[in-house]
Amino acid sequence: MIIYSWKDEGELKARSAECGVRSAKVHVIAHTQVPSETGFGRVSVIPRDPKAFARAIYAELHQCDEAGAELIIVEALPQTDEWRGLADRLTRAAC
């Protein structure tokens, strides 16, 4: 799993290609910059609210794992106090 902030879908696809993973095995978890599902194994959009995001992220990560994702890209979280704990846990879990 990597945490990444992308400006557009092309940048996101380039990042996944850098990791050497076929895009069909790349699963994306987003909350603001939502790419189309074209070319990705899965695109999930979860709430931007910190509490709702916290409830949803673990279920999404499990679903990606069960689906055989070779790479999970999670959109970077906001740098505010209410997101700090979630961002810390995701950062520690990332490769």
Predicted local confidence at residue 45, as pLDDT: 93
- Within 10 Å of residue 24's Cβ, how many Cβ atoms? 13
Provide the 3-class DSSP secondary structure of residue 83: helix
The pLDDT of residue 75 is 93
The reply to whether the predicted model has a pTM over 0.75 is yes
* Residue found by looking up tokens 């609210």 in the block: 49
* pLDDT of amino acid 9: 81
Listed residue (34, 58, 70, 95) closest to 12, CA to CA: 34
Q: Which pLDDT does position 6 carry in this prediction? A: 87
Is residue 95's pLDDT more than 80?
no
- Give per-residue pLDDT as tens, 64-90: 999 999 999 999 999 999 999 999 999
